[in-house]
Amino acid sequence: MAASVEGGWRTQELMLDGSWAGTLGTMAALCSTGAFLPQVVRTWRRGGRDLSYGLLGLLLAGAALWLGYGLLVGAAAVVAANAVTFILLALVLFLKWRREGTALPPRGPRPRIAIDMDEVIADTLGHVLEAYNRAFGETLTRESLGGRSLEEVIPAERGAAVAALVLAPGFFRDIPVVAESQRVVRALCARYEVFIASAAMEVPGSFADKFEWLDEHFPSIPPSHRIFCGDKGVLDVDYLIDDSPRHFARFRGTPILFAAPHNRAESRFLRVSSWGELERLLLEPDAPFALRPPAPEVAPTA
């Protein structure tokens, strides 16, 4: 955008004289100024999340200073190019300010993973067994269930009482975390876009408990990536980690079954039995069950 000046308006720099120097200068001005046009469109569509206010502020200040310089020395090409650049940059800055929080974020280059809560990151069955044993003086364990559900094992007349235990306010707030899940989820967040997806519609009263539980144990998952849903077939993610095979019925990505006593007869899906196994599966590129490797991060477009 710089130009040599000798005083007076250098209109010949605008290719009016047809010289090579004027032609090159004009093409340079058109390229460097026009480069901001695609950014205006991109910021309008996507909100400009990948642009910093610092970068835009400095570019805007630079264009303003060049504009002042051109006016002082009478360089028409410098004035014209930087006046247009200033306007386009100001427009980008305005669009970022207005649309950053409302425009749809771009689909990132990282694969997406949705992770179930109950029996995957939350030891819900262990919590239910503890509550049941405390209420009825029993000593049931995961092993003693033998792959059966609690309802299949306990006397039928206790079914309503067990349901009341689960529906009690605060029940889902104090569930223990599944071993190693916090550490591996944190590592996954660096290479994948991670969502927590719970079929919480089955117990609508659990929403607040589950939200607070995630705040405490998985703060790296922002509210925008917490999904309380019914049918997980609607999830548009690459991998779904879940202990309930029924959620894979209409899911279009790669299902990963997290082992639990109730699903041990299920053999249709890739099965993992611990978060250590998931770590080897998803984070070690040479692992025997390695899936599609995460794509490298791409530099934001200026």
Examine residue 116 and tell whether it contacts Mg ion (CB under 5 A).
yes
Euclidean distance between CA atoms 149 and 156, whole angstroms: 13
Q: Does 243 bind Mg ion (CB under 5 A)?
A: yes
Kindly indicate which of the ranges 7-15, 106-114, 116-124, 249-257 contains the residues binding Mg ion, using the contact rule CB under 5 A: 116-124
Distances in whole angstroms, Cα of residue 125 to Cα of each of 139, 142, 178 = 14, 8, 11
Is the Cβ of residue 193 or residue 243 nearer to Mg ion in the bound state? 243
From the list 117-125, 205-213, 262-270, 291-299, the region that binds Mg ion by CB under 5 A is 117-125
- Residue 22 corresponds to which tokens in the numbers above? 């004027």
What does each C-alpha distance from 214 to 59, 121, 205, 221, 225 come to in angstroms? 40, 10, 16, 8, 11
Give the per-residue contact string, 197-236, with Mg ion (x = CB under 5 A; - = no).
Answer: ----------------------------------------
Quick one: which of 119, 123, 209, 238 contacts Mg ion (CB under 5 A)? 119
Residue nearest to Mg ion (CB): 118
Judged by CB under 5 A, does residue 118 bind Mg ion?
yes
**Candidates 118, 123, 209, 243; catalytic one:** 118
Our answer to whether residue 118 is catalytic in this structure is yes
Q: Which is nearer to Mg ion, 75 or 260 (CB)?
A: 260
With binding defined as CB under 5 A, does residue 123 bind Mg ion? no
Q: Which of residues 30-49 bind Mg ion (CB under 5 A)?
A: none
Looking at 17, 50, 116, 209, which residue is catalytic? 116
Does residue 50 have an active-site annotation? no
Label residue 36 exposed, middle or buried (CB < 10 Å: 0-12, 13-18, 19+). buried
Q: Catalytic residue numbers?
A: 116, 118
Binding residues vs Mg ion (CB under 5 A): 116, 118-119, 243
